[in-house]
Structure 1
Amino acid sequence: MSSVSAASAPNPVSVDDRLAKRNALLLAMAQSVGGASASIVIATGSLVGYMMLDENKSLATVPVSAMVLGTAIGTLPAGMIMRRFGRRAGFAGSSVVAIVAGLLAAYAIFQNSFLLFCLACSLSGFTGAFVQQYRFAAADTASDAFKPKAISWVLAGGVLAGVVGPQTVIWTKDLFDPILFAGTFLAQAGLAVVALCFVLFLKIPTPPRRVKGVREGRPIMEIVRQPRFIVSAACGVTSYALMSLVMTATPLAMIACGLTQTDAALGIQWHVLAMFGPSFFTGNLIARFGKERIVAVGLALLAGCAIVALMGVELSHFWTALILLGLGWNFGFIGATAMLTDTYRPEERNMVQASNDFLVFGFVAFASFSSGQLLDIYGWSTVNWIVFPFVALSLVLLWWLLSHERNKQTP
């Protein structure tokens, strides 16, 4: 159904929601397979890097870091490309790049080329910036009443991706034995083909062009100087960067402690499920208890992850820590994102969201790059001890913001 026919229909709200439901279902299915690429790289990237490197094993986490850096680099181009050419064209193009990334990663493993593998992982990360937009695209054709459900459908696809990715690793890691994980990245390319098939059937109108010379909203520097923006960005960076720091190091730490690759893959599976699963009710918790309290709970869960990880190196310790890490990210990052929405006007939304994502993923990339060095030089305990000062700083900033805003309201 075209947008023209929808506009001329006698009941446009119901027609629009039929189209929105169709788009949301397609995007949820695309998320379940396209979003699996990230968990595949997370579960295997550092292990592949470790096997490829003869010296300086501290660089083993660079492939995962390259993926995160690729996502950071892709955030701004993703928004510009889809604004210029539309959602479907942007998503389809990124799926093609994801296919190339999977094939290139498999080839790099066969050739034992660490640099080529890192390039492939960075391309996977670049396409991940487009996958991040699935949830926003689901709301594009929805009525106000259906938008939350449309986003929830896509988040449900994220939960499926948390299962599909690690299970793909388990089923395919020995496909070309003794060359481990080559089959996994061929399968990653296959998942991207399936995602491409889904996004080609999307029907989302291309947004109108901007009028040249007309400014939309306030200057970005005026927005980012707001205390609420500073604190929400800081909490978002802390939640995501600490999650990346610990998560990137965990598969290597598990192998070093005598656990198996399957144990590591299943640990990442539980972690990703914990990241996305609570999203169905996080919004309700925010509405009931407030954004700042949910962020504080998320930060406390991140600290809880570090405490459990420091208590021992049995399988139960790693898996419990990974689950707490995922829950902490969910509450901390989604709560911080909700706080961010208080800082901009509707016409400023795209600019501020892209700027915030670029800032967040820039720090996430740095944390991911640092993870391997910290683990190799100082050990697993140090990786976890680092969590506490940043959690404490973010909690202090939250307290300062609430005090600042309370004082402003006091006559």
Structure 2
Amino acid sequence: MCLYNRYHCTCHHRLTNKIVLFICLATFLFGATTATINQFRFTPIEGVDKNLSATATSVVLIGGLVSAFLGPELAILGKDWFDAAFIGSFLLLSTCFVLTFLLLWFYQANHAPKIKQKQSGRGLKIIIKQPVFIVAVSSAAAGYVVMTASPMSMYVIDGFSLTQTKFVIQSHVIAMFLPSLFTPMIVELFGLSKMMIIGIMLYLVCIVISYTSHSLNNYWMALILLGLGWNFLFIGSTSLLPHAYNNLEKCKVQPVNDFLIFNMQAMASPSAGWFVFNFD
């Protein structure tokens, strides 16, 4: 019996390790795909005048309203399809990427740019020292770094149900993308800089509400403010970035921008987990 139990535990441990390995691989591939798709947000900006860049970015983000409803529903729908929780959710998510692949595969640009000779523009050291580049990267990074630990805190630490957690996250994602319908008017009235300052102020209020209580209502209010702040910062930073480079430099500046932003987010994720488990 002891040998059987030891063998059973060993097999279960190996199976768990394989599941973890596959989840890590899936997450890695998901990250690579997301990094590629994120580059597409600069495309509409390049097709309009710089004073319309915020409007172009807002139009792209409106598509996120669909994800606000579709993403959490897919997570709930596929959660219990397999013995390991959420494997079905990953499977449903992968079908969305397949549909995206098919849409992009059959897309053909009517006016593809023709590069006659290889030119590189200024060096990166010069570009990244510009105040406009520093502000663009810093504001976008702040927007992503703050929004890391909420699902874990709600579902794992405070014991809210998956349905309650889904409702709060769904509200948060709606708050991230719905303001895109009105952000161009805000930019026209106040300008990019003031809109981004408002985004930072919304973050500060979000932090105060989160620190005060971990009730469901506080989570809901804090995550809505977090979404609004992210929208203002993300649209502002994406619209500011093209002011830091010219057409010859965009292919090296845009990837560096995203590399810095999402590496900061990657460092914030384990840091958030450590803070939640040690100071909550």
Scaled by the length of structure 2, the TM-score of the pair is: 0.83
Q: Which residue matches 1:249?
A: 149
SS of the aligned residue for 1:132 comes to helix
1:261 aligns with 2:261: no
* Matching of residue 115 in structure 1 with residue 21 in structure 2: yes
**2:182 maps to what in 1?**
281
Query: What per-residue deviation string (whole Å, max 9, x for no partner) do you get for residues 200-239 of structure 1?
Result: 2211255434624xx3322221122223322333223222
Question: What residue number does 2:91 align with?
Answer: 186
Q: Report how far residue 263 of structure 1 moved.
A: 1.7
1:130-174 CA distances to partner (integer Å, 9 max, x unpaired)? Answer: 22133334567x676998776555322222112111111122212
In the TM superposition, residue 260 of structure 1 has moved relative to its aligned partner by: 0.6
8 Å Cα contact 1:241/1:363 also seen in 2: yes
The alignment's TM-score, normalised by the length of structure 1, stands at 0.58
Counterparts of 1:336 and 1:119, CA distance in 2 = 31
1:42: which partner in 2?
none
User: Do structure 1's residue 131 and structure 2's residue 21 form an aligned pair?
Assistant: no
Q: Partner letter of residue 135 of structure 2?
A: V
SS at match of 1:330: helix
Q: Percent identity?
A: 36
> Does structure 1 conserve the Cα–Cα contact (< 8 Å) formed by 2:149 and 2:276?
yes
Q: In 2 relative to 1, CA 324–147 (structure 1 residues): closer, same or farther, beyond 3 Å?
A: closer
Distance in 2, matches of 1:139 and 1:337, equals 9
**Corresponding residue for 1:230?**
134
In structure 1, distance between residues paired with 2:25 and 2:86: 16
SS of alignment partner, residue 149 of structure 2 = helix
Change (3 A) 1:149 1:304: closer
Any gaps of 5 or more consecutive residues in structure 2?
1-13
Residues in 2 aligned to 1:197 and 1:237: alpha-carbon distance in whole angstroms: 31
Q: What does 1:12-411 align with in structure 2 at a 5 Å threshold?
A: 113-138=19-44, 152-176=58-82, 178-204=83-109, 206-209=112-115, 211-212=117-118, 215-243=119-147, 248-255=148-155, 256-379=157-280
CA contact (8 A) 2:209 2:218 kept: yes
Q: Does the CA-based 8 Å contact 2:195-2:232 persist in structure 1?
A: yes
Q: CA–CA distance in 2 between the matches of 1:201 and 1:146?
A: 28
Q: Give 1:314 shift.
A: 1.6
Structure-2 separation of matches of 1:203 and 1:266: 38
Higher RCO (C-alpha 8 Å, min separation 6): 2
Secondary structure at the residue paired with 2:94? helix
Q: Flag structure 1 segments of 5+ consecutive residues without an equivalent.
A: 1-107, 380-411
Q: Does the 8 Å contact 1:109/1:182 carry over to 2?
A: no
Q: Kindly tell me the number of residue pairs found equivalent between the two proteins.
A: 265
Per the alignment, residue 3 of structure 2 pairs with none
Distance 1:150 1:262 in 2: 34
Secondary structure in 2 matching 1:253 = helix
User: What is the rounded CA distance, in whole Å, between the counterparts of 1:111 and 1:365 in structure 2?
Assistant: 22
Q: Closer, same or farther in 2 for the Cα pair 1:149/1:371, shift >3 Å?
A: closer
2:154 is aligned with what amino acid? M
The amino acid across from 1:222 in the alignment is I
Whether contact under 8 Å (1:134, 1:154) holds in the other structure is no
Equivalent residue, structure 2, for 1:68? none
Looking at structure 1, the residues matched to 48 and 129 of structure 2 have their Cα atoms a distance apart, in angstroms, of 33
Q: What letter is aligned with 1:300?
A: M
Question: 1:249 and 1:211, CA in 2 relative to 1: closer, same or farther beyond 3 A?
Answer: same
Whole-Å separation in 2 of the counterparts to 1:225 and 1:150: 26
- Counterpart CA distance in 1 for 2:15 and 2:93 is 14
Counterpart residue identity of residue 160, structure 1: V
